[in-house]
Structure formats: structure tokens, C-alpha cells
Amino acid sequence: MSLHGAQRPCGLPTPQASPRVTTRSSLLTAPCCARRCTLSRSSLPLRRNPHAASAPARRVVPRTCAQRSASSIVSDAACGCRRARRLEPARATRDIAEEYSTTDDELGPAARDALRLLGWADLCRDVASFTSTSRGREIVQRMLPATTQVEADDLMDETAAVDDLETIHAVMIDFGGIPTAEAHAALRRARAGGVLQPTQLHAIAQMLAGAQRLQRATMIACRRVRDELGHKSDASGALAPVSRRMEPISAQPQLVSSISRAIGEDGEVRDSASDELRGARSRLRTLQGRLKSVVGGSTGEATTYNGRLCRVMPTADAASVGLVLGPAGAGMSYVEPRAAVPLNEELQAAAQAVSAAETEVLMGLSAAAAACSQDLTQALDAVVWLDATVARARYSRWLDAVRPETTRFPTSAVAKARKGGAGDDAEAGYVRLRGLRHPLLAAEHKRWREQEQRAEKSKSAGGRDLLKRLAAQGLARASFDDATDEEDAPEPPVEPVPIDIEISGPVRCVVVTGPNTGGKTALLKALGLCALMARSGLYVPASAPARLPAFSNVLADIGDEQSLSSSLSTFSGHLSRIQALRAESDSRSLVLLDEVGTGTDPAEGTALGAALLQRLVKGGPGGAGLSLATTHMGLLASLKYNDPRFENASVEFDAEKLAPTYRVLWGVPGRSNAIAIAERLGMEGGVIESARDRMGRAARSVLALTEELESARLEEEELGARREAREREAAALKAQVSALKQRAAQHERDTAAKGARAMKKHLNKALSDVRKAARTAAAHAANADVAGTGAAGAPAPAAAAAEQSAPAKGWTPSAGDAVSVPKLRGRGTVIEASGKQVTVQVGLMTATVKVDEVLPVK
């Protein structure tokens, strides 16, 4: 079944036919030959900027069979290999999964362990729930933070671009069930030289159609913004990440058309795929009809056994009818009538011919797909990239998150702090996360709230119908609410309390103290997850403006690492993890330490914890850019008073309610409140007093000092609240005064404009009256002249000259003056005078003449 002829199954242009005639025997040997001739890909990994818009780097790919063309699918006269034409293109596209993964040398074991401790996999699953394709979901679930700030900025720009497309430009990004996983598997098989199944070819066509649809939807908006606002506008630049990805897509319409003509929606090869297939199937159907008529004339039930049409009949009668093919059980046998034997043989040959023709079609289409695999991979990667980016943008909107600003570490403030200075105020606030919510807790609470809202809607919609049916049957004995209450309903998740984190100046370590279950560990995890989100193209759940520095990595020691199998105690487990993370930390790392100094003697634990924190604030290898450490060791809070690089924070505890408020208080160390809690719970006074005595005078002094500091903090907080209230009132009054001034100025302008319009109207009316009077006077004068001369004719020259007088020096005619116009041989009245010209009414005629052409009349 050669592809040489008038029609090619793939619909591509037919090259010059080879003089070699391909036989079925060559098809049978093709797989072996293909293994010898198929191109092999380089095993060396290809690394490039995962967000670069340029074409992928070239690979050095060995070629065989006289450097044959990868696009050709015809038989090769030199090697007799038909399948060898499905060759790997010389340029290979990097798999989209590499853009969302990090190699081991880029992400160390301590950084990977921190992802586990912070719950990064759970957050990725939350983001993946917003994907629309299976491949996109797989990619997002394995998403890892960027390892460089350039990549992190690119990811954030991509998220912002897609967010603008959906929110500002109202672009509907609909993936419509694009089979990305099936297309990915098909492309890998095609690049490896395999023959694709019809369903795989159909998946490639669907993927290309979907990619073209997404390209059209996104590029229309990008081009519209570019045309309206210009190439250099901010809006056009904001959409550049989308246009760079989507514009280069080559939808391969010829390949899609060829697959659609050859493969049906049901995944079957169409008869119209090739002339050979059409003829082979036609012969097969003819033989099937003839065979059914032959077998149908015999006794017994017609069936198929080993691909041969036969009859099931008693074994005793089988020999007289035909050939026994095998036992059918219960004294029955499969019998092939003698007249059906040659037809069955022909049917087997026809079925093989159909199979060969179908294989020929699939081979051609597979070779066509392999020839343009680079464009197909690029289209698939663009679809998956868009799906992952849309998921990040939609997740960020759903979480009410904001884009964080990237700040720098204030190195000058650190240098001044080491010398005892206060740091530069301009570099303050390099970490600002006000109203920060733990992303996992916030997502859990929001999902529960949405489920409750959906259940309430369903309940209100379906409850009425249920009550009506029960009432009609006389079975309504309880209210719908009572009937649908769930006794064992799970406890709803608690809405996370927003916290404020603002770190400025020379501070490089925050010591967080306070009671258990007060939210200390949640604070560490919330900050750590936000730092990871900022490096993964995700907005952070905080109030705007949110600011975070460019952390190189996030490292954490959270939880109890006690292990009996490894002979590790709690203290040893913490030390092992701290040593591991310090091997990967530097001056730009975020280090999160939970329960520093616990698990051993308090005095030694405090000393070791203080030494560790002081080493971290020095930076460099084994140091940190910012550290947060929770502890119950109150003496660690005293580091702030000797080193400005330290700051204290605590989680608030309501002593009246004996419950944490989950608020974070800055600048004040916290207390465990153990004795206060025991006293409020009713423990006898003797025990309480004994406990206080055992604390020692120094400890009680520290406790009293802490209480005084906390009282001062509360007083300062109250004063600050009052001050802010007064400032708000003053700002409101200032705004009102400004508004009144603006209204007064506007009123003054409106009044002046109104007066000007009235005066102009009055002047125009006066001018109109003067003109009207001048025209009337001129008409009367002209009539009097006519009446005075009558038949006697014009006045004598002497009389006319007597009526005229030489103009006085500096005389200027004005509206209403009687003048003589020698040029017109008449007298008239000045209607309008402007500059060196005047308009004169002479009888029924109006003329404009120069000033020196008129004379005053006595």
C-alpha cells in the first residue's frame, strides 16, 4: 500500500516519487529498519531561561540515511525504510514541565524540606483547582518557586497580564476541554518514531484547534491595546508576556485538516482517508455479505470463531457439514461449512489489506505530526502555560490577594546598626504585610463559606418542593429545617485573624514570644508561604501596598523532628535541621525557626538560641537576611535592648477570657501566662504563691517589667488610636473646607461668567438699537433730499459746498454722524466705524468706505 499516487493520506504535498516499488513485505520489515534509522535525541539536558520568548536552543542530533529530510514520509530507495521518515526535528522544544520544576542543584534538601513544613503542596493543590486542563493541573501541582529574581519577576508579570486580560479587557479565556495530556503523550510517541493511534491524532487536532482559539481571543485584545495606546504605553507593555507566548503559535491548519479528513469523531479511520483503504473496505464488506449468505444457508447458529465465520451445531452432525474448528461445549462444535472455507480465506486476506491500509494512513499522519513536532510542542506548551497562569491569576483574585512590591535589603541601615546608628528612614519598611491572612486557612474558610452559600441556595430551592410533596402525602410533621439538620456536621473552620507584619530599618531578627496555641507558628508559616508565593507568580493575601524583599530562598525549622528510628531527641532533631538549613542560607535568605532553645536545659537552650540568632543576623554564608524565631525563653527577648538588629513581637492573650486573640503585638515581649491561667482556673492560692516564690526575685522582676511594658504598650496603643481618630477627623474637616473653597470659587466663576454674559447681551442690544436708529435717520434724510430737489434737480454746487465743512483736526466719524460722501455724490449717516473704515447708509444703499473719503455735514 504505497503512498505514491494521486492522494496522500496526510493531505500534504506529494514529493517526487521514488522509483522503488514498496511491497507488503517491506512493510512487515519496517519496524526493524525504523529502529536502525530513526533519529536519536541528545541525552544531555537543555537548560534555558524558562520565560524567554526566543526560540529554543538547538540540539546536536545525529542523522542517518544520507541526511534525509524530516518532513518526508515516502519510502527511501537507499535503505528501504518507510517508518524511518518519522524523524525527530533538529530543534527540540523544552517541555513545559521544566518551567515549573527546579533541579536538585538549584533547590537544596533544606529548601525542599521547608516546602513540606510550610504546606507548599497544599497551596499548590489550591491553585491547581483553578486549572482547566489535566496537563495544566499536573504542572501547577508540581510548581516550585523561582530560583532567581528575574524569573520571579517574569512570573509575576505573566500573572498580572492575564489578570488584566480577564478583568480590564474582559477577555473570556475558555479552554473548552483541550486534551493536553493525550496530546502530550501523542507528541512524545510521534517524536520517538511510533505510529499514533486514531484517538491520539484526534487529540492533536483538538489541541491545535483549541490553541488557535485561545490565540485568537488573547491576541485580539493585545493588538487592540497596542493600536489604541501605542507600543510604548504601559497597558501595551503589561500584556507583552501574553503576546510573546501566544503570538508565535502555529496552528498547522493543513495538518488539522488532514487529520479531520482521515479520522472521525469516534476515533475511527474514515474510508475517505485513502483510495487504498476505500477499496480494501469495500472488498471486505462484499466478502462479508457473500460469506453470511453461504453460512446462513446451513443448519445451526451462525457465529465467529478465531476470525472465521462458522456455525455451532451438534458434534455428531459436524463431519457431514464441513470442517470442525473446535469444541463449543455441551456436545456442540464450531463447524465451518465447506463452501465457506475459500471465502473465509479471502476475508482474512481482505481484513489484512484493510489493516495495512489503515496503518499506512496512520503512518503518514504520524510522520506529518513528527515533522512539525516543534510547532506542535510550542502550541501545547502555550496552552498549558496559559492554563497555569490563568489559574494563578484566578486564585489570587479569589483569595482577595494583592501583587507585592519587591524591595531591597537596606544594607546601609545594617552597617549603621552595627556601628550603633539608627539606620536610614528612607529604607524603612522593607517588609510590609498589613492585614496578612494565612493563605491555607483563608482558602479553607472561604471554601467552607462558599459551600454553605451553595447549600443554603439548594436548601431554599429544594425545601419548598419537599414540603409540598410531604404535605400532599400527609407526612409533613416537622419543619424542613429540622428534617435536614445534620447532627454530626463537621465544625466549621475558624476565619483567620489578619495580622500586621512591618519590619524596617536595621532589624534582621524578630523574636516572637507568647503562650501556646497563640498563633506564633501560624505567623511563621504565613510569612514563609507569602515569600514563596511572591517567587511563584502568586499574589499575597494582604492589604495593599504589600512589600517583600527578594529572598534568595526560604528555610524553616518548624515542628518536632523527634525520631526513635534515627535515635534523635527533640533537641537533636532541631539541631540537625538547623545545621542543614544553615548550609544553604545566605545574606538574602528568610529563616524561620520554631521553638528555639527547647528540648534541653532552659539555661543552655537560651544561651545556644541567643548565639544562633546573633550568628544569623551577621549574614553571609550560614547567616540570613531576615530571621523570625518563636520561643518560650523570655531571656531571648532581651537581645533587642543590646542590638538594634533585633526586634520583639508577641501574640496577644486575653487574660479575662483565658484565650488567645491571635493578634501580633510588635515591640513587646509576650508572656506564657501559665500562673495567671492556673489562678483563674481556680487552683488554690497556696500553690499559686509557692509558684511565684519559686520563680525567684529576678524572674518576678522581669515579669513585672514585662507587665509594665505591656501596660505601656496598651496605653500607647490607645493613645495612638485616639490620635488616628483625631487625624481622621482633621482630614475630614480639611476635606470639607477644601470642598467648600472649591464650591465658592466655582460659584464666583459662575457668577462672573453670568454677569459677563448679561453685559454682553445688553451691549449687543444697544448696538442693535443704534444701528436701527441710524438706518431710520438715513432713510428720512434721503427722502428729504429727493423732495427738496424735485424737478429743480440737484442743489447747486455752491450750496452743496456750503453744507459741507472741512473736517477738524483729529476728527473721527462715529455711529450716528451725518456725513457727506463725495465719492457717492450724496449724504448719509454713519452706521458703524471701525478703525480706518466706516459703514455709511446713503439713501437705500449701504457702503463701506475709508475714513478720509467722508466729510462732516454742518
pLDDT tens by residue, 623-641: 999 999 998 887 888 888 8
224 inside domain = yes
Q: Which residues contact 811 (CB under 8 A, 6 or more apart)?
A: 856
Number of domains making up the chain: 3
pLDDT band with cut points at 50, 70 and 90 for residue 53: very low
Q: Are residues 223 and 291 in the same domain?
A: no
Closest listed residue to residue 496, CA positions, set 538, 547, 440 = 440
Q: What is the CATH number of the domain that holds 189?
A: 1.10.1420
Which one of 626, 645, 670 terminates a domain?
670
Q: Are residues 152 and 280 in the same domain?
A: no
% pLDDT > 90, the chain: 30
CB of 303 within 8 A of CB of 313? no
Average of per-residue pLDDT across 838-858 = 84
Q: What amino acid occupies position 297?
A: G
Look at the block and give the residue holding cell 544553604.
584
Supply the DSSP string of 427-456, one letter for each residue: G--SEEEEEE--HHHHHHHHHHHHHHHHHH
Q: What pLDDT, in 10s, does the model give residues 577-600?
A: 899 999 999 999 999 999 887 777
546 inside domain = yes
Query: How far is the C-alpha of 636 from the C-alpha of 613, rounded, in Å?
Result: 9
pLDDT band with cut points at 50, 70 and 90 for residue 348: confident
Q: Are residues 280 and 190 in the same domain?
A: no
Query: How far is the C-alpha of 161 from the C-alpha of 709, rounded, in Å?
Result: 48
179-206: b (≥16 Cβ within 10 Å) or e: bbbbbbebbebbbebbbbebebbbbbbb
CB of 511 within 8 A of CB of 633? no
Q: Are residues 528 and 660 in the same domain?
A: yes
Query: How far is the C-alpha of 120 from the C-alpha of 538, rounded, in Å?
Result: 12
What is the pLDDT at residue 679?
76
CB of 566 within 8 A of CB of 501? no
Closest listed residue to residue 162, CA positions, set 381, 396, 406 = 396
What is the pLDDT at residue 622?
92
Which of 6-15, 170-179, 223-232, 788-797 is predicted with the least confidence, judged by mean pLDDT? 6-15
132 inside domain = yes
182 inside domain = yes
Supply the DSSP string of 561-578, one letter for each residue: --BTTTTB-HHHHHHHHH
- DSSP secondary-structure letter at 270? P
Which residues are registered as beta bridge partners of 568?
A: 563
Q: What pLDDT, in 10s, does the model give residues 266-294?
A: 888 988 888 888 898 888 888 888 888 87
Q: What is the CATH number of the domain that holds 413?
A: 3.40.50.300
Q: Are residues 338 and 393 in the same domain?
A: no
Comparison of pLDDT for 670 and 255, the residue scoring more: 255
Q: Are residues 307 and 233 in the same domain?
A: no
Q: Are residues 426 and 568 in the same domain?
A: yes
H-only helix segments in 95-179: 109-118, 120-128, 134-141, 149-167
Q: What amino acid occupies position 551?
A: F
303 inside domain = yes
Q: Are residues 524 and 660 in the same domain?
A: yes
Closest listed residue to residue 369, CA positions, set 579, 208, 531 = 208
What is the pLDDT at residue 461?
64
Q: Are residues 666 and 519 in the same domain?
A: yes
Residue 343 has pLDDT above 70, yes or no: yes
Average of per-residue pLDDT across 115-139 = 95
25-49: b (≥16 Cβ within 10 Å) or e: ebbeebeebbeebbbeeeeeeeeee
- Strands, E assignment, 747-825: 818-821
Comparison of pLDDT for 615 and 699, the residue scoring more: 615
Burial classification of residue 137, based on how many CB atoms lie within 10 Å of its CB (0-12 exposed, 13-18 middle, 19 or more buried)? buried
Which of 158-172, 238-252, 605-619, 762-776 is predicted with the least confidence, judged by mean pLDDT? 762-776
Which one of 670, 689, 707 terminates a domain?
670
464 inside domain = no
Q: Are residues 423 and 547 in the same domain?
A: yes
53 inside domain = no
Q: What pLDDT, in 10s, does the model give residues 222-265?
A: 888 887 776 555 556 788 899 899 999 998 989 999 999 999 88
Phi-psi region of 196 (alpha: psi -120 to 50; beta: other; left: phi over 0): beta
Average of per-residue pLDDT across 295-311 = 79
Query: How far is the C-alpha of 581 from the C-alpha of 39, rounded, in Å?
Result: 45
Average of per-residue pLDDT across 747-755 = 85
**Pairing status of strand 659-666 against strand 646-654:** antiparallel
Residue 23 has pLDDT above 50, yes or no: no
Q: Are residues 324 and 414 in the same domain?
A: no
Which one of 615, 635, 670 terminates a domain?
670
pLDDT band with cut points at 50, 70 and 90 for residue 468: low
Q: Are residues 586 and 664 in the same domain?
A: yes
Q: Which domain holds residue 325?
A: 273-358
Comparison of pLDDT for 97 and 654, the residue scoring more: 654
Residue 561 has pLDDT above 70, yes or no: no
Residue 90 has pLDDT above 50, yes or no: no
208 inside domain = yes
CB of 372 within 8 A of CB of 256? no
Q: Which residues contact 114 (CB under 8 A, 6 or more apart)?
A: 528, 553, 554, 555, 556, 581, 592
